[in-house]
């Protein structure tokens, strides 16, 4: 009974099901790891909301990147915007509308530049290759409060859109060479500003406090792992039933001839 399972073909089938199940289990644990990362980020966002703003130098540096535990904390500083080195960060949507972030260096009182996402603007109605309506940065001294974010990975991929340099990623180390000042290796999303922000600039939304679909995806992958062995068992049972069915008795040619002979 079920001796055929030890044949090479069935052993290979079992090994394939086991490998597939192992892959599904690893994907399930990967989704659980993503869930843990999301929960940790949510905790950082909540903690940052209840912490007082600090000086940028307490969290950021010009020679090291932002510590993960400090992401989303708020900083407060004073300086002047360097509008000559302003960028449009393309590929960002707000409320399902395509647009760009307005990224402007702020030269602080000690001469260090801090990249500030002043807000979001929609794309020009004349197309993505036409510069959108970007409110000018205020002249003179400003006071800003913002959420700290780490540099984005990859290259900025700079292009020209009207009078603006347009980039795809906030690659701070690359942009620092263009700003002309020592630059903090991180940037902030503006929360408050004195004087007030132009109303045409839309504030960057806070990160959503959601766990996402990672838990349901993990359950699905684990279920697929179980189904791989369930499928193996179903095929094995069907094969065993097929082998146990009695073969039909052969019909003798003589009998066939006798049945077909005329009376």
The pLDDT tens digits of the residues spanning 164-215 come to 889 999 999 889 888 889 999 999 999 999 999 998 999 998 878 888 899 9
In whole angstroms, what is the distance from residue 150 CA to residue 44 CA?
A: 14
Output the CATH code of domain 53-194: 2.40.50
Cα separations in angstroms, 10 against 14, 168, 226, 231: 6, 52, 18, 13
Mean pLDDT of 136-156: 92
**Nearest residue to 215 (alpha-carbon basis) of 40, 23, 44, 30:** 30
Whole-angstrom distance, CA of residue 198 vs CA of residue 209: 27
Query: Is 25 a residue whose pLDDT tops 60?
Result: yes
What local confidence, expressed as pLDDT, does residue 201 receive?
93
Q: Residue 95: its pLDDT value, please?
A: 84
pTM of the model: 0.74
Query: How far is 137 from 215, CA to CA, in rounded Å?
Result: 43
On average, the pLDDT of the chain sits at 88
CB 195, CB 138: distance < 8 Å: yes
Domain boundaries, the chain: 1-50+214-243, 53-194
Compare 201 and 130 and report the one with higher pLDDT: 201
The tens digit of pLDDT for each residue in 150-159 reads: 998 888 888 8
């Amino acid at each position: 009974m079920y001796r055929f399972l030890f044949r090479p073909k069935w052993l290979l089938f079992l090994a394939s099901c086991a490998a597939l199940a192992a892959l599904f289990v690893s994907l399930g644990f990967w989704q659980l790891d993503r869930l843990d990362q999301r929960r940790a980020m949510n905790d950082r966002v909540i903690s940052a909301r209840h912490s007082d703003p600090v000086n940028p130098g307490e969290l950021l540096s010009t020679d090291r990147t932002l510590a993960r535990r400090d992401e989303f904390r708020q900083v407060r500083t004073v300086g002047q915007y360097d509008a000559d080195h302003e960028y449009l960060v393309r590929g960002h949507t707000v409320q399902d509308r395509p647009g760009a972030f307005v990224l402007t260096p702020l030269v602080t009182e000690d001469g260090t530049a801090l990249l500030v996402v002043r807000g979001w603007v929609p794309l020009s109605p004349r197309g993505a290759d036409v510069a959108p309506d970007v409110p000018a940065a205020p002249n003179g001294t400003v006071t800003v409060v913002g959420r700290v974010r780490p540099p984005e990975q990859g290259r900025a991929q700079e292009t020209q859109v009207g009078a603006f340099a347009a980039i795809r990623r906030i690659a701070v180390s690359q942009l620092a060479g263009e700003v002309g000042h020592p630059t903090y290796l991180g940037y902030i999303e503006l929360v408050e500003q004195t004087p007030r922000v132009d109303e045409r600039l839309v504030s960057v939304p806070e990160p959503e406090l959601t766990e996402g679909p990672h838990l349901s995806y993990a359950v699905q992958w684990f279920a697929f792992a179980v189904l791989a062995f369930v499928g193996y068992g179903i095929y094995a049972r069907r094969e065993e039933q097929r082998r146990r069915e009695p073969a039909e008795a052969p019909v003798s040619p003589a009998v066939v001839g006798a049945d077909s002979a005329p009376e």
